[in-house]
Amino acid sequence: MTRTVESNMTGVAIPAVVHHDVPAYLASDEALIHLLDRYPAHLFDINRYEFDAEGQASLTTGTRGEAGGRAVLEAIKAGQLWVNLRSCEDAHPGLWAEVQQAFGKLHPELGVAAKGLKAARKITGQLILSSPVTRVPFHFDAAGVVLFHLRGVKRVWVYPTTEAFLPQAAMEKVIMRATTEDLPYQRLMDGAAYRFDVAPGQALTWPLYAPHRVENQEGLCVSLSMDYQTWASRITTGAHRANGVLRGRGWTIHPMAQTGWAQRTLLWAASLVFTRLGFVKNNIKDFERTFDVAAAPAQAGQAASVQPKTETAPVARRRAA
């Protein structure tokens, strides 16, 4: 894999899997039902992905309605759902303490990622509950990620960060949240990917911005995704945002790998101004919730049996692996 400026500064150079000791009982049915009954509604995302024969994805989003924790958990087990419980660092302090402790023991194994995290400006976590047969499409995250896996088996494909897999112009649009278009993906790209079957007790991390996709393999899958920003990643992401604005106005944009830190910092500063001036428009915002777990618990996970009330939107929300 080509080393990038980003991976030298903020994360591992190649994907790495290590062992962690976050207790598995935190992902037991009883613990999850207890949690789902109490988790703040505004931190709760329910997504359902549908894929065509070429692996292209579309997304519908749902709501739990009046469904209790047990009903939500059963809907996840039976369907094709992807549920994110955001801001675990605030809303689930017990799990977060375990994850932080586990991470503390992983510093030597995670190498460069540990340096990145030491310098991290913002660390957040989301607990991901996903159906045994569901998938997450090809995408990248504008943050460093360590995925602590707790239950089930998840196959994670991690791709190079080169232009062929992560076109800079497409990346800028995603960072700007200016389009609902996703990164281009073709199955033949899998030949260049790292592939991991991640089991409970393992944690996976990858280079900053590395595109990835997920195919659940076995059982209800539960993972805690720790996302972190460093000054280096924040400045680089801001530089991409500024480049997106400038590209849209006809400027010639240089590859980020050839853009030094002084220039990146200037671009980052410009991005703050552009945002303040309203040049960076979020065109996707929140999708309308199109299905209700409480209203149709038996069908909520079945793609074919729920008719969305509005159009489905191509995948563009923040996703965790």
Residues lying near Fe ion in the complex (CB under 5 A): 141, 319-321
Q: Which is nearer to Fe ion, 143 or 245 (CB)?
A: 143
Q: Least distance from C-beta 305 to Fe ion, angstroms?
A: 28
Q: Least distance from C-beta 141 to Fe ion, angstroms?
A: 4
**φ, ψ for residue 182, nearest 5 deg:** -100, 175
**φ, ψ for residue 152, nearest 5 deg:** 80, -175
Q: Least distance from C-beta 310 to Fe ion, angstroms?
A: 25
Contacts of 258 (CB under 8 A, 6+ apart): none
Q: Which is nearer to Fe ion, 99 or 300 (CB)?
A: 99
Please give the Cα distance from 71 to 294 (Å, whole number). 8
Name residue 78's amino acid.
A
Contact (CB, 8 A) for 167 and 244: no
Q: Which is nearer to Fe ion, 89 or 141 (CB)?
A: 141
Q: Least distance from C-beta 220 to Fe ion, angstroms?
A: 19
Contact (CB, 8 A) for 103 and 118: no
Q: Which is nearer to Fe ion, 117 or 208 (CB)?
A: 208
Please give the Cα distance from 91 to 146 (Å, whole number). 19
> Residue 90 CB: number of other CB atoms within 10 A?
12
Q: Which is nearer to Fe ion, 221 or 320 (CB)?
A: 320
Q: Least distance from C-beta 249 to Fe ion, angstroms?
A: 30
